[in-house]
Amino acid sequence: MSTHGTDPQLSERMQGANTREQVLATVGIISAHAENVHIEATRHGRHDLELDINRILAAARDLTNRVERLIDADTLATWSMGGLHPAAQHALRHELRTPLNAIKGYGEMLQEDLADQRGTPLQAAVDHLVSAANDLLVLFDRLVALSVRKSRPGATGEEAPTTVASDKPQGSLRDRDTSSAAVQSGTILIVDDNEANRDLLSRRLTRDGYRVSMAVGGQAALDALADADFDLVLLDLMMPDINGLEVLQRMKADVRLRMVPVIMITASAEMHSAIHCIEAGAEDYLPKPFDPVLLRARIGACLEKKRWRDREQDYLRRLEAHTKDLQESLKQQTATSELLKVIGRSIFDLQSVFELLVEYCVKLCESEHAFILRFDGRVLRLVAHHDVLPDMKGYVERNPIPPGRGSGAGRAVLERRTIHIADIRNDPEYTYYGTLAVPLRTVLSVPMLRGDEVLGVIAINRYEVRPFTASQIALMETFADQAVIAIENVRLFEEVQARTQELGRSVAELKALGEVSQAVNSTIDLKTVLATIVAKAVQLSDTEAGTIYVLHEESGEFELRSTYGMDEALIAGFKGKPIRIGDKTVVDQATVQRVAVQIADLQHDDASRVHNAILRAGFRALLTIPLLGVDRIVGALVVRRRRPGEFPKDTVELLQTFAAQSVLAIQNARLFHEIEQKSRELEIASQHKSQFVANMSHELRTPLAAMLGYAELLQEGIYGAPPEKFMPILTRMRSNGKHLLGLINTVLDISKIEAGQFKLNIGEYALGSIVETVMVATESLAATKKLAFKTEVAKGLPYGLGDEQRVTQVLLNLVGNAIKFTDAGEVRITAGAANGHFKLSVSDTGPGIPAEECERIFEKFRQVDSSNTRAKGGTGLGLAIAREIVEMHGGRIWVESTLGQGSTFRMELPVRAPVAAGAA
């Protein structure tokens, strides 16, 4: 650089020298004030300020040294040239400023500390110190500006921002400082390689209520940011290791740190770089030395912004979470409803429901795999799985899980609640997989509960430690519920199915039993009954052949009575080798032990000769049911099946019912047979009796008639006039004889009726004369009882066809009864004809007949009141004979009566009795 000067060069040199002198002088003043502050502080006994004052003294010494070195060196010419050498410029921009900033900064701190000491020499000394420091800063700025103009002639003053701090009036600072009592919140990281800067900033900010951390360089700052959260970073631009811009760029590239606001700390000369930083994402900048007001304002604004941003972030996060929740629950709902649809469809297929479930579990719960295990009351067994590692699957299949604390699923069964283990490696009780290396970490097991009963467990797992969210757990619980519903559905369906089948079977059985009962009840033919029973038994027991044996008690041999599904040869073979009590055949065993005996497979049985024949006929299994009476063996029912195997319990029970029916049928048949036999014998006996009675009556009648005839002859004096006193005796003899004859006739009639030998003598008769005859015969009886006797016979009655004598007998009986039972009043006979019928009635004013007796008195030997009738006499046979006679004529007879008023016996006879009706 040329040192040959012109006039303007001279003036500049002069100015340079002047400036140098000014700088040296100001530095000297600063040192002096610093000394003075020290002395005054000591004098005031303010040892608390000693540390800061020492720092000021050290900085003043540093400043003096640097200035002297700068001026002593070859820079002298440069100084005098006005335009600064780059080294000098750097010194002015940085090196000299550092101690000067410290002096100013600590000075200002002292000012604040001494705010209440206004007017003291100490306070004045501090004021002087700060103002001298400000002066020097102004000088430095001026010098830098000057040299910049020199080196870059076109440049404007854009790069000469005056130090904001130094422009501020000092007084107002203090006022604001003291008034700012609000406690700030926030954690601030100060990054500066200069200790004094760090110290000053941190003290100021701590005093303002912030939490402060410090980092000495770029790397340290990044480390601190990685370790803890900060609300704000104050970042020095110029640092030896990683400069501020780079730290800023790295922060902005890091998602986690991007949002942390950064305020750049810059020397006033670094404005250009500061703008760079703001472009790179810094929030703001703070020029050194720090103006406390600006510092506070910028930090406050920045933190406020950060708080808003945080709030916004938080809101966004919450919104996002909410949206995610919504999406998740939508997904879950969709899955749930799809699942329900499948459950509804797959009543027949539980497995496909389980498989869908495990798939959904993995999809919706972000799990690595899912299991469904069914609990059989003892252990849990794997029934469905999704994405399970083959090793684990094999292990679970080989090792069913018992209830217990050793596994998530076992624990879920034990405690009947959802088990969530965040990390099984931290759970000493979890031992299920033993030595098998499994990547399992987080485990969730949900029991499938029906009431208190555990049906199974649904489990999902993760290979990392990441607990499931509440909504995932809730979803799993829903899935477990749905699994239970599916299981229940299937169970109910199967139950209904089983019931329906059972019902179907019962209906078939009932029908068969009905048919059998019907056969038993209606068919006297035992052969048909047994054939029905054996056929139904074979059909319902799902067998192919059957036999009913009946024990012949005398011979002790089981007689083959009925077969079904057996060919002639086999039957013949059976008949050729009879079974006996005590021969140890199944029939013998079953009947003697009174239990059903079955052979599930004849091939593996100690085959008897009979079994061989059955085997040859193609049968493999047989079931023998004993037929048992109360106190004896009736026989046995045997069914045979081509398929080997046990007979189900219900088949055995069903056949036992059939066996009981068979016993009934056989016994019924026996009884019926006996009864038939007896009645045949009885009938013969009765015929003999009737014949005897008929004969006897007939035989009795002949001598009686002779006796009556002789008595009449005696009375009529054929053998000479009898003495007068014999007469009434003869009369009584005759009447008793007649009565006896009447009785014999009645007995004779009845026995004829019973013997089927009662015959009518059909001929023409006049009803009027019959009435006349009866009246003549009974008139005297009525008269002796003082009863009025009336007859009303219609005129012009036709001649009737019938047995005159028998009709007379009927009418005589009715009139006789009327007179016999009536004590006062009248007896009336009426006779008429209408519609081809004679209508006759005999009424009396006697005691009447109770309604319930009106029909019964027409039965043999029936009398209303035997005691009363005994008084009146009678056999109770008259009306029975009368009805027989009337009915033989094709007519009818009945009585109408009111108790206490009398009775009317009525009779209708066809005028012309049908000739066939018993005509001889």
Q: How near is the Cβ of 854 to ligand ADP at its closest, in Å?
A: 9
Residue 260's closest CA among 223, 321, 307, 193? 307
Of 688 and 739, the one with the shorter C-beta distance to ligand ADP is: 739
| Nearest C-alpha neighbor of 829 from the set 850, 804, 808, 860 | 808
Minimum Å gap between C-beta 633 and ligand ADP is 54
User: Residue 887 CB, nearest distance to ligand ADP (Å)?
Assistant: 15
Strand residue runs (E) in 133-248: 187-191, 211-215, 232-236
**Torsion angle of alpha carbons 641, 642, 643, 649, nearest 10°?**
0
Work out how close the CB of 809 gets to ligand ADP at its nearest, in angstroms, rounded to a whole number.
Answer: 11
Question: Out of 629, 825, 874, 914, which residue is the one contacting ligand ADP (CB under 6 A)?
Answer: 874
- Dump the DSSP string for 541-603: TT-SEEEEEEEETTTTEEEEEEEES--HHHHHHHHHS-EETTS--HHHHHHHHTS-EEES-GG
Using CB under 6 A, pick the residue from 260, 863, 884, 888 that binds ligand ADP: 863
Instruction: Specify the residue, 669 or 771, whose C-beta has the smaller distance to ligand ADP.
Output: 771
- Report the residue number, 678 or 739, with the smaller CB distance to ligand ADP: 739
Of the candidates 116, 119, 106, the one whose C-alpha atom is nearest the C-alpha of residue 54 is 106
Q: Give the residue with the Cβ less far from ligand ADP, 482 or 817.
A: 817
C-beta of 779: minimal distance to ligand ADP in Å? 17
Q: Are 826 and 815 in contact (CB under 8 A)?
A: no
Distance CA 533, CA 527 (A): 10
Nearer to ligand ADP, 587 or 849 (CB): 849
Contact pick of 296, 903, 909, 911 for ligand ADP (by CB under 6 A): 903
CB nearer to ligand ADP: give 168 or 862: 862
Q: Binding ligand ADP by CB under 6 A: which of 875, 890, 894, 914?
A: 875
Cβ 896 to ligand ADP, closest distance in Å? 11
Please report whether residue 747 would count as binding ligand ADP according to CB under 6 A.
Answer: no
Pairing label, strands 262-267, 232-236: parallel
Q: How near is the Cβ of 800 to ligand ADP at its closest, in Å?
A: 23
How far, rounded to the nearest angstrom, does the alpha carbon of residue 817 sit from its chain's CA centroid? Answer: 84
Closest separation in Å from C-beta 881 to ligand ADP: 8
Q: Which stretch binds ligand ADP (CB under 6 A): 210-218, 529-537, 767-775, 872-880?
A: 872-880
Near ligand ADP by CB under 6 A: residue from 864, 890, 910, 912? 864
Contact 286, 298 (CB under 8 A): yes
Upper half-sphere CA count for residue 138 (Cβ side, 13 Å): 11
- Which lies closer to ligand ADP via its Cβ, residue 261 or residue 891? 891
By C-beta, is 404 or 876 nearer to ligand ADP? 876
Nearest approach, Cβ of residue 691 and ligand ADP (Å): 24
Minimum separation from the CB atom of position 783 to ligand ADP (A):
18
In three-state secondary structure terms, 371 is: strand
| Stretch of 83-91, 473-481, 724-732, 862-870 contacting ligand ADP, by CB under 6 A | 862-870
Question: C-beta of 849: minimal distance to ligand ADP in Å?
Answer: 5
Pairing of the two strands 232-236 and 187-191: parallel
Cα–Cα distance measured from residue 111 to residue 113, given in angstroms and rounded to the nearest whole number: 5
CB atoms within 10 A of CB 699: 11
Contact code string over 237-276 relative to ligand ADP, x by CB under 6 A: ----------------------------------------
**CB–CB of 458/371 below 8 Å?**
yes
Q: Which is nearer to ligand ADP, 166 or 903 (CB)?
A: 903
Radius of gyration of the chain (CA): 70
> Rounded to the nearest whole angstrom, what is the least distance from the CB of residue 844 to ligand ADP in the complex?
5
Q: Which is nearer to ligand ADP, 16 or 847 (CB)?
A: 847
Residue 749 binding ligand ADP, by CB under 6 A: no
Residue type present at position 630:
V
Looking at beta carbons only, is 105 or 878 nearer to ligand ADP? 878
CA-wise closest residue to 909 among 840, 858, 861, 863 = 840
Kindly tell me which of 580 and 785 has the beta carbon lying closer to ligand ADP: 785
Lateral strand order in the sheet of 211-215: 211-215, 187-191, 232-236, 262-267, 284-288
* Binding track, positions 876-895, relative to ligand ADP; x by CB under 6 A: xxxx----------------
Write out the binding residues for ligand ADP, residues 791-850 only, by CB under 6 A: 813, 817-818, 821, 844, 846-847, 849
d(CA 251, CA 229): 13
Q: Tokens at residue 641, please?
A: 């099946």
Residue 400 is given by DSSP the state: P
Do 912 and 800 contact (CB within 8 A), yes or no? yes
- Residue 778 touching ligand ADP (CB under 6 A): no
Q: Which of 122, 614, 857, 909 binds ligand ADP (CB under 6 A)?
A: 857
Q: Does 144 bind ligand ADP (CB under 6 A)?
A: no
In angstroms, give the least distance from the CB of 814 to ligand ADP: 7
Residue 891 CB, shortest distance to ligand ADP, in Å, is: 17
Is 873 exposed, middle or buried (CB count within 10 Å of its CB: 0-12, 13-18, 19+)? exposed
354 versus 758: smaller Cβ distance to ligand ADP: 758
Q: Using alpha carbons, select from 879, 907, 884 the residue that is nearest to residue 894.
A: 907
What is the identity of the amino acid at 727? M
Q: Tell me the number of residues near ligand ADP by CB under 6 A.
A: 20
Residues 6 or more apart whose CB falls under 8 angstroms from that of 315 comprise: none
> Is 904 one of the binding residues for ligand ADP (CB under 6 A)?
no
- Give the CB-nearest residue to ligand ADP: 874
CA 118 remoteness from chain centre: 88
Q: Indicate which single residue of 249, 578, 869, 919 sits in contact with ligand ADP (rule: CB under 6 A).
A: 869
Instruction: Using alpha carbons, list the distances in angstroms from residue 266 to 87, 143, 232, 245.
Output: 19, 19, 16, 11
- CB of 747 vs ligand ADP, minimal distance in Å: 12
The minimum distance between CB 877 and ligand ADP, in angstroms, equals: 6
Toward ligand ADP, which CB reaches closer, 629 or 876? 876
Which of positions 671-730 make contact with ligand ADP (CB under 6 A)?
none
Phi then psi for residue 214, to 5 deg, are -130, 150
> Residue 239 and residue 469: Cα distance in Å, rounded?
46
In the chain, the amino acid numbered 805 is Q
Q: List the x/- string, 662-681, binding to ligand ADP by CB under 6 A.
A: --------------------
Spatial distance between the Cα atoms of 696 and 687, rounded to a whole number of angstroms: 14
The distance of closest approach from Cβ of residue 705 to ligand ADP in the complex, given in angstroms and rounded to an integer, is 22
Binding-residue pattern over the window 307 to 346 for ligand ADP, x denoting contact by CB under 6 A = ----------------------------------------
Phi, psi of 617 (to 5 degrees): -80, 0
Read off the amino acid at residue 370.
A
Q: In what helix (H) or strand (E) does residue 219 lie, and over which residues does it extend?
A: helix 218-227
Q: Assess 742 for contact with ligand ADP (CB under 6 A).
A: no
Name the minimum Å distance from CB 717 to ligand ADP. 35
**Span from 410-418, 547-555, 858-866, 906-914 in contact with ligand ADP (CB under 6 A):** 858-866
CA angle 435, 438, 444 (to 5 degrees): 115
Name the nearest CA neighbour of 617 among 572, 679, 658: 572
The DSSP-derived string for 329-340 is: HHHHHHHHHHHH
Site of interaction with ligand ADP (CB under 6 A): 813, 817-818, 821, 844, 846-847, 849, 857, 862-864, 869, 874-879, 903
